[in-house]
């Protein structure tokens, strides 16, 4: 499913002047405004402590804004979102299939009734042959794929990803980047992706939100208006290099302001 | 840049690996042979000391005499063993129910934990020998009294370990359960209980030994009043009659029971965790 061109996508949610303060003193986020449209692939790019993970937790509803609000278009429904953490966060006592089943199980669905969905989600990440394996038997990259399959199994409107590939080696990361774009295209969801990496953000997203630290805030938004699907060829294209330079400059600006 | 191609001509198993394999084999045999050798040596020395010094059997019986007594007194001792084991097992069962139940209550309600945890600790640190006489004064039924004593000793490690386990579920998984709108019960059932299982099993192994100790100690206290039929009572009784060989035979049975309980619970733990938990996994070096 190819999303509508940027600027013609329906709004999914909006962060309106969101502040988040911890213990009354640490300002994690100040006046954050962000409109997320259906089909966007947004990267939150910035140095440590810029509040990108905090923003994600706020959108996930795991934490509440100190001020401002987060408004979902048409109201948020259960199952509208899924989260992928930096760690694969699998249950070690459960098989791959049981791990992917979890979100549906929590909605009271028996395994038999959703087995097709579980297998389909695992097929999307290329692990349909590992249903009965335990997480410990898988490599780091495969565990992350299971984690992504678990996020996909409910067919959420929005997937929040908090540096999911940061702990993986470069080769695996590139593979997963490519595969992630393919999965997104297939199920047509919206992704908000937190990362430290300029290259990853440019390769994956069509919008890059650059954030600065102390206090955490948005300083710039860039668009990467390049067509999907993007394959390995995109990584070596002059357009890619140009976007990387722009994002790098914005990131330096963010770090400079923080220093 | 040159790339060295090894492996094609390399010997599949090198000397170091062979040495390591040999060492592993030796260690595997030694693990069984050494303790058995120590036992044999100990028994031999014991036997010789008794024989060479003509020590009378009412002071120190020879190992042979202990074994003969064990066989001769088997009906009496076996009945006593059953009584002690029954109390032990019941105490362990009640400790599991009580320990896990309280642990679940504590993790579901901070208030309950704040209110009761200190008293669980106090109960644990007070020696059961000092509580037991009171229990036997107030509790009419002897069995219930014994059970209560053994339970007091055994339940704490289960409570403490299970509480720790229930609270140590991965925080990201907790967040995920929240995002998916899990109920309290679902979180307990699918996240906290499985997370707590290895901790619980660790506590269970300790509690198995403790419930035997609790049962024996309680029998001693009850036995001094002239009532009882368990192994500890038989030891007391044999002591009064200077039947030292029987004391040894009964002691042997108690020790053997303790070992069997520990081994059984270790095996249970291994079976439940072997698929996924670090403690039960075999690793390559």
Residues A68 and A91 reside in one and the same domain: no
Residues A98 and A163 reside in one and the same domain: no
Q: Beta-carbon neighbour count of residue A213 at 10 Å? A: 19
Residues of A in contact with B177 (CB under 8 A): 106
ipTM of the complex: 0.91
Q: Is the dihedral of CA A11, A17, A22, A27 positive or negative?
A: positive
Residues A75 and A92 reside in one and the same domain: no
In a domain, A180, yes or no: yes
Residues 167-206 of B with CB under 8 A from A: 170, 172-173, 175-182, 186, 190-191, 194, 197
pLDDT tens, position by position, A198-243: 999 999 999 999 999 888 899 999 999 988 889 888 999 999 999 9
> What's A27's domain CATH number?
3.40.50.300
Residues of B in contact with A59 (CB under 8 A): none
Interchain pair B190, A102: CB under 8 A: yes
The percentage of residues in chain A with a pLDDT greater than 90, rounded to a whole number, is: 77
Q: What is the DSSP string of chain A?
A: -PPPPTTSSPEEEEEEEEEEEETTTEEEEEEEEEEEETT-EEEEE--TTSSHHHHHHHHHTSS--SEEEEEETT---TTSEEEE-SS----TTS-HHHHHHHHHHTTT--HHHHHHHHHHHHHHTT-GGGTT--GGGS-HHHHHHHHHHHHHTT--SEEEEESTTTTS-HHHHHHHHHHHHHHHHHHT-EEEEEES-HHHHHHH-SEEEEEETTTTEEEEEEE---PSP--HHHHTSHHHHHHHHHHHHHHHHHHHHH-
Two structure tokens written together for B251:
């002691």
- Measured in residues, chain B has a length of 285
Residues of B in contact with A102 (CB under 8 A): 176, 180, 190
Q: In the prediction, which pLDDT does A77 show?
A: 75
Interchain pair A106, B277: CB under 8 A: no
User: B271 — contact with chain A (CB < 8 Å)?
Assistant: no
**Domain at B63-280, CATH class:** mainly alpha
Q: Enumerate the domain spans of chain B.
A: 15-54, 63-280
Residues A217 and A142 reside in one and the same domain: no
In a domain, A219, yes or no: yes
Q: What is the largest CA-CA distance in chain A?
A: 55
Helix (H) or strand (E) holding B281: none
- Boundaries of domain holding A211: 10-80+158-167+176-259
Pairing of β A41-45 and β A207-212? parallel
Q: In the prediction, which pLDDT does A254 show?
A: 87
Q: In the prediction, which pLDDT does B7 show?
A: 47
Two structure tokens written together for B9:
């001509």
- Cα separation of A28 and A30, whole Å? 7
In a domain, A1, yes or no: no
Residues A65 and A162 reside in one and the same domain: yes
Of A182 and A8, the structure prediction assigns the larger pLDDT to A182
Residues A148 and A224 reside in one and the same domain: no
Residues A17 and A53 reside in one and the same domain: yes
Residues A74 and A99 reside in one and the same domain: no
Residues A144 and A163 reside in one and the same domain: no
The parts of chain B modelled with pLDDT lower than 50 are: 1-4, 6-8, 284-285
Tell me: pLDDT of A20 over 70: yes
Q: At B174, is the secondary structure helix, strand, or coil?
A: helix
Interchain pair B172, A87: CB under 8 A: yes
Tell me: pLDDT of A76 over 90: no
Q: Which of A126, A155, A184 is the last residue of a domain?
A: A155
Q: In the prediction, which pLDDT does A205 show?
A: 95
Residues A246 and A228 reside in one and the same domain: yes
Domain count, chain A: 2
Tell me: pLDDT of A126 over 50: yes
Q: How does the average pLDDT of chain A come out, rounded?
A: 91
Alpha helices (H) along B53-170? 63-72, 74-108, 110-125, 128-138, 142-167
In a domain, A3, yes or no: no
Q: Which of A122, A155, A188 is the last residue of a domain?
A: A155
Partner-chain residue, chosen from A85, A94, A106, that has the shortest CB–CB distance to B180:
A106
In a domain, A61, yes or no: yes
Residues A70 and A99 reside in one and the same domain: no
Q: In the prediction, which pLDDT does B246 show?
A: 94
In a domain, A220, yes or no: yes
| Lowest-pLDDT choice from A52-56, A65-69, B262-266, B275-279 | B275-279
Residues A97 and A134 reside in one and the same domain: yes
């Amino acid at each position: 499913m190819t999303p509508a061109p940027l600027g013609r996508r329906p709004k999914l949610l909006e962060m309106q002047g969101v502040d988040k303060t911890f213990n009354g003193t640490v300002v994690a986020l100040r006046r954050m405004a962000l409109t997320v449209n259906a089909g966007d692939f947004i990267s939150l790019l910035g140095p440590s402590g810029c509040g990108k993970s905090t923003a994600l937790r706020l959108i996930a509803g795991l934490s509440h804004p100190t001020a401002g609000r987060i408004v979902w278009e048409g109201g948020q429904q259960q199952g509208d979102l899924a989260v992928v953490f930096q760690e694969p966060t699998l249950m070690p006592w459960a098989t791959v299939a049981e791990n992917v089943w979890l979100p549906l199980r929590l909605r009271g669905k028996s395994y038999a009734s959703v087995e097709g969905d579980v297998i389909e989600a695992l097929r999307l990440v290329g692990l349909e042959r590992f249903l009965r394996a335990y997480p410990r038997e898988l490599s780091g990259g495969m565990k992350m794929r299971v984690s992504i399959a678990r996020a996909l199994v409910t067919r959420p409107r929005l997937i929040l990803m908090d540096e999911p590939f940061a702990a993986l080696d470069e080769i695996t990361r590139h593979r997963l980047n490519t595969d992630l774009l393919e999965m997104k295209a297939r199920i047509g969801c919206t992704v908000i992706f937190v990362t430290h990496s300029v290259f990853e953000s440019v390769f994956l997203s069509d919008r890059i939100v650059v954030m600065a630290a102390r206090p955490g805030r948005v300083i710039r938004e860039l668009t990467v208006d390049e067509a999907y699907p993007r394959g390995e060829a995109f990584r070596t294209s002059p357009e890619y290099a140009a976007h990387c330079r722009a994002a790098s400059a914005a990131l330096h600006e963010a770090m400079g302001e923080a220093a | 840049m040159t790339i060295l191609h090894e492996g094609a001509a390399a010997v599949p198993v090198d000397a170091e690996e062979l040495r390591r394999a040999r060492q592993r084999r030796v260690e595997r045999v030694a693990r069984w042979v050494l303790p058995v050798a120590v036992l044999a040596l100990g028994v031999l020395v014991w036997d010789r000391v008794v024989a060479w010094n003509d020590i009378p059997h009412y002071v120190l019986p020879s190992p042979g005499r202990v074994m003969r007594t064990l066989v001769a007194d088997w009906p009496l001792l076996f009945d006593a063993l059953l009584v002690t084991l029954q109390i032990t097992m019941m105490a362990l069962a009640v400790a599991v129910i009580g320990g896990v139940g309280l642990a679940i209550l504590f993790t579901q309600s901070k208030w309950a934990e704040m209110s009761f945890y200190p008293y669980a600790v106090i109960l644990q640190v007070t020696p059961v020998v000092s509580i037991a006489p009171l229990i036997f004064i107030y509790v009419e039924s002897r069995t219930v009294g014994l059970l209560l004593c053994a339970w007091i000793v055994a339940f704490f490690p289960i409570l403490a370990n299970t509480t720790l386990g229930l609270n140590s579920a991965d925080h990201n998984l907790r967040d995920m359960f929240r995002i998916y709108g899990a109920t309290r019960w679902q979180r307990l059932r699918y996240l906290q209980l499985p997370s707590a299982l290895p901790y619980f099993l660790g506590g269970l192994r300790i509690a198995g030994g403790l419930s035997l100790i609790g049962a024996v100690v309680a029998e001693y206290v009850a036995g001094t009043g002239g009532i009882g039929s368990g192994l500890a009572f038989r030891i007391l009784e044999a002591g009064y009659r200077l039947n030292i060989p029987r004391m040894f035979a009964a002691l042997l049975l108690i020790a053997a029971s303790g070992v069997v309980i520990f081994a059984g619970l270790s095996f249970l733990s291994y079976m439940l965790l072997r698929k996924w938990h670090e403690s039960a996994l075999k690793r390559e070096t």
